[in-house]
Structure 1
Amino acid sequence: MTPSFHALTVRDVRRETDDTVSIAFDVPADLAAAYRFAHGQYLTLRTVIDGAEVRRSYSICAGCDDGELRVAIKRVPGGLFSAYANGNLKPGDRVEVMTPMGRFTVPLDPEAARTYVAMAAGSGITPVLSILKTVLRREPKSRFILVYGNRTVDSIIFRETLEDLKDAHLGRLSIHHVLSREPDESGLLTGRIDRAGVAELCGTLVDPAGVHAWFLCGPQGMIEDARAELLDRGVDPHAIHAELFTTGIDPTRAPAPVPHPVVEHSGDAAHITVLLDGKRKEFALPFDGEAILDAAHKAGADLPYSCKSGVCCTCRAKLVEGQVEMAKNYALQPWEVEAGYILTCQSRPLTDRVVVDFDAT
């Protein structure tokens, strides 16, 4: 199903921490199927702030069986949408919400007895909360280990919810908080979730060989450290699932031109064809010009996107003809790249003709 926006009404705004709110939306009955989500997926929200359209993606924090559609939004310095959501959104407001997307998830089996491990930092808990709630509900024989990093106790998002879940699932859910700014807090680990911390986790809390799936969600450095340590310990790379929240890239800036391999072409511009919802849009794009996504929007194609940083994967499409160069890729898995998928927000043409298909799944 091609992702699409619908205006949803805000049903509830809940203050989770001083700088984080969770927002629940009313979903009309005729849109219930379109907004049915998998644990670990996200929503892209769209609104107009100071006369300009702003889009941001936020992970769903509700479990699949909670009966609600809810995201968490942490205010970040300079964040237009996060500041707006934390300070202005209220019940009854209408927000354009894209249908759920994302692959930070795994299939579940109600008969399975598995072990899952998640490592999250800060707002990285948001999709992990959806995942662990759903696992605990739908796989009653499985257990879940959460390692959650924050600065202080007060900054722990969903702290009470997590404690309630632990009490309700004794023996199946274990939670280990890691604090970087409160070393004297009794009973809690200190420092950050880095490579040394992951090594300690594997040596004391869990045997990596017995883990069915690992979920890593947080800043780039944490994910890279954790992945490297797990791979060195022989963990199957297909069992490691990562969702990147920060890369240091300014999402308001289009990607700058990057050097690319020399490819033979006959002119100064490529002929681009974009397929979406069975329709095609064709336009010319200079080889030293902007990314395919930006050019397509200027040509009148309403393509799905959110971050424009190569992180969220909303603009993913399949390259069916020609060659492109991707400036950044933080979202596509190796098998997707091998299968021909690209991030159109980061891709520029290398050949005279390029065809990308948003309808390919």
Structure 2
Amino acid sequence: MSTPSFHALTIGECRRETADTVSLRFDVPPELADRYRFAHGQHLTLKTSIGGEEVRRSYSICSGVDEGELRVAIKRVEGGVFSNHANDALAAGMSLEVMTPMGRFTTPLDPAAAKTYVAFAAGSGITPILSILKTVLAREPRSQFLLIYGNRTVSSIIFREELEDLKNRYIGRLAIHHLLSREPEEAGLLSGRIGADLVRELCSGPIDAASVDAVFLCGPQAMVEEVRDTLTAAGTPAERIHLELFGTSAPRRASAAPASVDDPVEGATIAILQDGKRREFTLAYDGDTILDAAHRHGADLPYSCKSGVCCTCRAKVREGKVAMAENYSLEPWEVEAGYVLTCQSRPLTDRVVIDFDAA
């Protein structure tokens, strides 16, 4: 697995998708084509300077794997520094620093398979789902896909025309149910919100919870967790449910060191292994996260959201123990194997060795 790295890419197209959403297509030079090959459902971390400060944000790729383009969509968020900048100031011909694709919100595909896929998306949560949907339908000609997509109004439905075109292209294989929370009178579209009641209703009709092959959930944390829990209760195996959050609740701080640790004032010795090099520094047990402390000591470690969601800062603990405040992206087997999110981790032992080169 290649180490994540940034490269300056030119915006080939800046396209208005809705009144508050733009999509950016990046031109990838031939010498970087291999570095920017992506799996359906992955994301890009974009970096730029706004008001003299470096700003990083992760945005999901909305292109299908076989479409020959690299595109993300960015919805304006109230008070969002990067999203407002993207919607107001970015244009074709401009350049951004773009990290190589990352993320595990995906699933292996088999051209001979005949599977059933279900996705629940809210608002801009459609972006990775669109990539997954297009890739699945193109690469698994015997598979079927059901999408439940929630928005406030018809005008806020991102990629509405493209979704309709896809439904017409894949008649009998793609079903789309739009759910509107603020236009209940809109003819032909469902009203309400995505939640437990809707999921239970669908499980008594078009969704066979126990036999669905893969479910993808993308949206606000409360919605994603409610749908996940309802599907699990209805019989969907947990390992078939894939989650991606757009926003989380307020993060908790990691636990402080236990009383048995000697000299908590001086703190723990942290060793960072990256690109075959080693960097050491001291970190107070109740101080910064390992990621923030490493950056203060000159390490250029990969990160994006700093909320435990994107998994960009994933690394392996080779020695010692840490506590993670939040984890929305690591699988149970990864935690068992010693992987942590360094943006959420603080030391619990007097020495911790973190390996960013671990695959």
Query: TM-score, length-normalised on structure 1?
Result: 0.97
- How big is the shift at 1:206? 1.6
- Kept in 1, the 8 Å contact 2:211–2:236? The answer is no
**Unmatched 5+ stretches in structure 1:** 250-254
Letter in 2 for 1:222: M
- 2:237 equivalent in structure 1: 236
Letter in 2 for 1:334: P
Answering whether residue 319 of structure 2 is matched by residue 318 of structure 1, we say: no
SS of residue in 1 equivalent to 2:281: strand
Query: TM-score, length-normalised on structure 2?
Result: 0.97
- 1:269 equivalent in structure 2: 267
- 2:182 equivalent in structure 1: 181
- How big is the shift at 1:277? 1.4
- How big is the shift at 1:263? 5.5
- Kept in 1, the 8 Å contact 2:256–2:285? The answer is no
Letter in 1 for 2:357: D
- How big is the shift at 1:121? 0.2
- 1:203 equivalent in structure 2: 204
Cα 1:257–1:40 change in 2 (3 A) is closer
Cα distance between partner residues in 2 of 1:47 and 1:220: 27
- 1:252 equivalent in structure 2: none
- How big is the shift at 1:243? 0.1
Cα distance between partner residues in 1 of 2:143 and 2:254: 46
Answering whether residue 285 of structure 2 is matched by residue 284 of structure 1, we say: no
- How big is the shift at 1:258? 4.3
- Kept in 1, the 8 Å contact 2:40–2:135? The answer is yes
- 2:306 equivalent in structure 1: 308
* Percent of paired sites with the same residue: 67
Deviations 1:163-190 (A, max 9, x none): 0000000000000001100111111111
- Kept in 2, the 8 Å contact 1:257–1:289? The answer is no
- Kept in 2, the 8 Å contact 1:257–1:290? The answer is no
- Kept in 2, the 8 Å contact 1:322–1:355? The answer is yes
- How big is the shift at 1:209? 2.3
> Which deviates further from its counterpart, 141-150 or 198-207?
198-207
- How big is the shift at 1:256? 6.8
- Kept in 1, the 8 Å contact 2:39–2:65? The answer is yes
Letter in 2 for 1:271: T
Answering whether residue 222 of structure 2 is matched by residue 221 of structure 1, we say: yes
Deviations 1:245-279 (A, max 9, x none): 01144xxxxx6744446253222311101111111
SS of residue in 1 equivalent to 2:54: strand
- Kept in 1, the 8 Å contact 2:125–2:218? The answer is yes
Cα distance between partner residues in 2 of 1:263 and 1:352: 12
State the Cα RMSD in Å: 1.1
- 1:165 equivalent in structure 2: 166
Cα 1:263–1:107 change in 2 (3 A) is farther
Deviations 1:17-51 (A, max 9, x none): 00000000000000000000000000000000000
Cα distance between partner residues in 1 of 2:245 and 2:144: 24
**Structure 1 outlier segments of 4+, above 6 Å:** none
Cα distance between partner residues in 2 of 1:127 and 1:317: 24
> Which deviates further from its counterpart, 326-335 or 174-183?
326-335
- Kept in 2, the 8 Å contact 1:264–1:351? The answer is no
- 1:14 equivalent in structure 2: 15
Letter in 2 for 1:97: V
Letter in 1 for 2:137: L
SS of residue in 2 equivalent to 1:225: helix
**Unmatched 5+ stretches in structure 2:** none
Letter in 2 for 1:8: L
- For 1:1-361, what aligned pairs fall within 5 Å after superposition? 1-249=2-250, 257-260=253-256, 262=258, 264-267=260-263, 268-361=266-359
Cα distance between partner residues in 2 of 1:170 and 1:197: 24
Number of residues of Structure 1 aligned to a counterpart in Structure 2: 356
Letter in 2 for 1:86: N
- Kept in 1, the 8 Å contact 2:275–2:357? The answer is yes
Cα distance between partner residues in 1 of 2:257 and 2:85: 42
Cα distance between partner residues in 2 of 1:352 and 1:116: 47
